[in-house]
A and B are shown apart, each in its own frame.
Chain A
Amino acid sequence: MSVEFDITDKGDYVLIELEGEVDLFNSPHAREVILNCLENSRHILIDLSKVKYIDSSGIASLVEGYQTAKSKKLKFGLTQVSESAMSVLQLAHLDKVFPIHESSSDFNESAS
């Protein structure tokens, strides 16, 4: 695996920090982590500051999480998006679709 997950319960929401390269090999794991949090009815914020590479399968995991959260009326957000991840979000025209927060405190205010 070339991606690591750090999952922290922040009380009002769960912070998922992804680190490394999110690609076809490990994006199913990322998808599982994201959907499990939503299954437990938790708002989630995903920190992408340490993501060095993300491919279309990784983006698909984020889209599925975003749509699942919407359907469950849960908050879903991204924060600290790395330059590499942002360039891929922009290619997919998703940088204007995903709620992207400057910081976790911004998200916390909207989640609480």
Chain B
Amino acid sequence: MTEQGRLIECRFPARAERLKLLRRLVYDAAETAGAGAEKAEKAVIAVHEACMNIIQHAYNNDPNGEIILEIINNGDTLVFQLTDFASPADIHTIKPRALDDIRPGGLGTHFMNEVMDSVEYSVDDDLQGNHVTMTMTLQK
């Protein structure tokens, strides 16, 4: 039996030292939803990289920032939504860089796109925050 609906919603400080704990949580939630180990590891990569982008780029490493993570099991898909409360992002500028340009940095967005079936960005004016919503298909 796998659990469906909202698996978890948690709010945590946007700090690098919290990411290890977050990875454990994402892996366990994905497994609880019926994703195999390979997909659970991919979910960890995507959520971790998305959080890194929020910490470094949205909050500019301000340790007072917060992130909300929601994980929803829709039965055939698993949705990971991250919300931050930084200044509205210019979502049209968020794109992966060319991989043949060998240089440090800029790989996180590429990783997210590679391991997830869809990655969407939006600005929530009511909440005064930004969302990144990532969806992966669950194995049948």
Which A residues fall within an 8 A CB radius of B?
2, 21, 23-25, 53, 55-57, 59-61, 63-64, 67, 84, 87-88, 91-94, 97
Contact = CB atoms under 8 A, between A and B. Distances in A.
B25 interface: no
A23 B48 contact: yes
B104 A64 contact: yes
A63 B97 CA distance: 15
Given A2-B20, A25-B20, A55-B48, A91 B102 contact: no
Contact of A92 (B23, B48, B56, B107): B107
Interface residues of B, number: 24
Contacts of A56: 49, 52, 105, 107-108, 111
A57 B55 CA distance: 12
A88 B45 contact: yes
B99 interface: yes
B115 interface: yes
24 contacts: A23-B19, A23-B20, A23-B48, A24-B16, A24-B19, A25-B16, A25-B19, A55-B45, A55-B108, A56-B107, A56-B108, A59-B107, A63-B103, A67-B103, A67-B104, A88-B45, A91-B107, A91-B114, A91-B115, A92-B99, A92-B107, A92-B110, A93-B99, A94-B102
B17 interface: yes
Contacts of B20: 2, 21, 23, 25
Interface of B: 16-17, 19-20, 23, 41, 44-45, 48-49, 52, 55-56, 99, 102-105, 107-108, 110-111, 114-115
A53 B115 CA distance: 16
A24 B52 contact: yes
A91 B111 contact: yes
A48 B48 CA distance: 20
